[in-house]
Amino acid sequence: MQKQVGGIFTKTADIAADLTGKVELGIPEDDPRNPAVIADNVGDNVGDVAGMGADLFDSCIASIAAALLLAIPLGEIQMLFCFVSVGLFSSIIGAILTRIGKSGTPGQALNNATYFTCFLFATLTFIASFYSGFEMRVWGAAMIGMLIGVLIGFTSNYFTGDDKKPVKKVAEASQKGPAFTILSGFSYGLLSSLPALVGIGLATLASYMICSPLGLGYSMLGIAMSAIGMLSVVGMIITNDAFGPIVDNARGLAEMGDLGEEAIRKADELDSAGNTTKAITKGFAIGAAGLTVIALLAGFSEIVSRNIQGLTGFDLMHPSVFFGALVGVAIPAVFSAMLMFGVSKNSQKLVNEIHRQFDEIEGLKEGNAEPDYTACINIATTGAIKELIPAGAVAILATLAVGFIGGVMAIGGFLAGNILSGLLLAMLMSNAGGLWDNAKKHIEAGNFGGKGSDAHKAAVIGDTIGDPFKDTAGPSINTQITVVSLVASLAAELFILYSIF
């Protein structure tokens, strides 16, 4: 749950610092007079480095576990570990060879490194499969997952890139007020979910079909290997993700250290590229989580079929399955709402603390006194831990409740609904949040009135909504759907023995 704690922490500080500093007082984003500015910088590391790293590690381990569950009966363990090892090796080489060049850009350099890593992984696994006698169809399934991951990255890049049409359109709409900022950004976020979801669906279908001729069990192993392929370059994905908070904090240090407008401008350009790379890595993580939980659903089905003769799947027309599916669809929305309520409540406490310090500390507004940074960090930390517990408990308890009420049939529907709803919300929130952030930075670069204009204030409000979208709720949903899938698999035999219906 590192990502959820980090997400609540970082967005508590970020929202409070933005609203009190840029909107209320008209001071710069990382002005040292703002008591929440250090908490904001700490939060970038907690949420976007440690949190996202833990999230990607979780997705990677879950995908390996799901593939192991299906590979062991088929005797394909050596192939699985070969692919995982080659993926890590390819990521290391890709990270080492990353170069910007004299006329290049950081975002393009990281994208090129990702493409090179994917090419290296594809080449080395092909050679290993050919000479080791692994099934080439399974290699094909892994390549499908990898290619779909790149497609999802392209989609995220288009909808969140600071040089792309959606960001410019949202920045332009901000001239008419925050309502148009929110409406246009949310609409683009909804649009961005289609290619990603279609891609995940195609990866599932294609990997299933390509491995189906190999025999019983290989079709589901194909889906699991597709997830392995998508996460094969996890080391490079983490490298891309860490770039965002590093340059964000560099920008903060440039402003706090009064290094001049040119240093801040260059740091802003890097920060904008960082928002795009973060959106791309979140797309990879969400897509891989989707494929992983489909494989976990197959694992759950296999556990249940050992105990219930004649069970071959979960029919949506069955009342128990339909009941479970409806509850499953709702849980990601409830989970997201609780996390964002946590950010909202915590941010309000922090805003009150910032107001108190400006009112009570003499000379703070003029820069003649030191703010109490520690008090803001404490509020963000304790609030993040406190607000996480109810959201996590609801997801786990809902899974157990559905299982003990409707049995394994209801859980089958619950997992399917949870996966579909979770993927949609995760893609929507991650891309909409990145888009709003870069629309704000596009205006701060001098477009549509620049800093301090009405368009800028509207974009800041859009960004404060996008912050918990992209850094708290959105990337946390893939952890949620993985957790409920694992809980369902672990408790499957209990649901068989003890259920009301």
For 137-193, write each residue's pLDDT tens digit: 999 999 998 888 888 877 888 888 777 899 999 999 999 999 999 999 999 999 998
Q: What is the pLDDT of residue 22?
A: 67
Give the model's pLDDT for residue 180. 95
Provide the pLDDT confidence category of residue 264 given band limits of 50, 70 and 90: confident
Tens digits of residue pLDDT in 331-360: 999 999 998 888 888 888 888 888 888 888
Q: What is the pLDDT of residue 292?
A: 73
Unique residue bearing structure tokens 């979801």: 197
- What's the pLDDT score for residue 65? 79
- Residues 216/218/224/230 CA torsion (nearest 10 deg): -160
Q: How many CB atoms lie within 10 A of CB 296?
A: 28
Rounded average pLDDT over 431-452: 87
Residues near 302 by beta carbon (within 8 Å), at least 6 away in sequence: 69, 70
What residues have CB less than 8 Å from 61, skipping those under 6 apart?
A: none
Which two three-digit tokens encode residue 402? 């559905």
Q: Count of CB atoms within 10 A of residue 98's CB?
A: 18
User: How does DSSP classify residue 448?
Assistant: G
* Rounded (5°) CA angle 447-451-453: 85
Which pLDDT belongs to residue 352? 87
Note the pLDDT of residue 278: 66
> Does residue 2 carry a pLDDT above 60?
no
Q: Specify the pLDDT at position 104.
A: 65
Of 31-35, 44-48, 207-211, 487-491, the range with the highest mean pLDDT is: 207-211
Q: What is the pLDDT of residue 108?
A: 75
Both tokens of 493, joined, read: 């035999």
Q: Please, what's the b/e burial string for 486-497 (b: 16 or more CB within 10 A of its CB; e: otherwise)?
A: bbbbebbeebbe
pLDDT of residue 124: 94
Are the beta carbons of 120 and 93 closer than 8 angstroms? yes
Alpha carbon distance 370, 416 (integer Å):
53
DSSP state at residue 258: T
pLDDT one-digit tens code per residue, 83-132: 999 988 998 898 888 777 666 677 777 778 888 888 999 999 999 999 99
As a whole-number percent, the residues of the chain with pLDDT over 90 amount to 22
What lies within 8 Å, CB to CB, of 156 at 6+ separation is 192, 196, 276, 279, 280, 282, 283, 430, 431, 434
Tell me the average pLDDT of the chain.
Answer: 83
Residue 303 tokens read as 């556990």
Q: pTM, whole model, 2 decimals?
A: 0.84
8-state DSSP, 309:
T
For residue 48, give Cα distances in angstroms to 24, 174, 256, 425, 461. Answer: 27, 27, 21, 19, 21
Residue 365 clears pLDDT 80, i.e. is over it: no
Q: Is the pLDDT of residue 199 over 60?
A: yes
Report the range out of 120-129, 267-276, 405-414 with the highest average pLDDT. Answer: 120-129
- Measured CA distances, 449 to 174, 271, 405 (Å): 10, 20, 58
Q: Is residue 370 classed as helix, strand or coil in its secondary structure?
A: coil
Predicted local confidence at residue 19, as pLDDT? 74
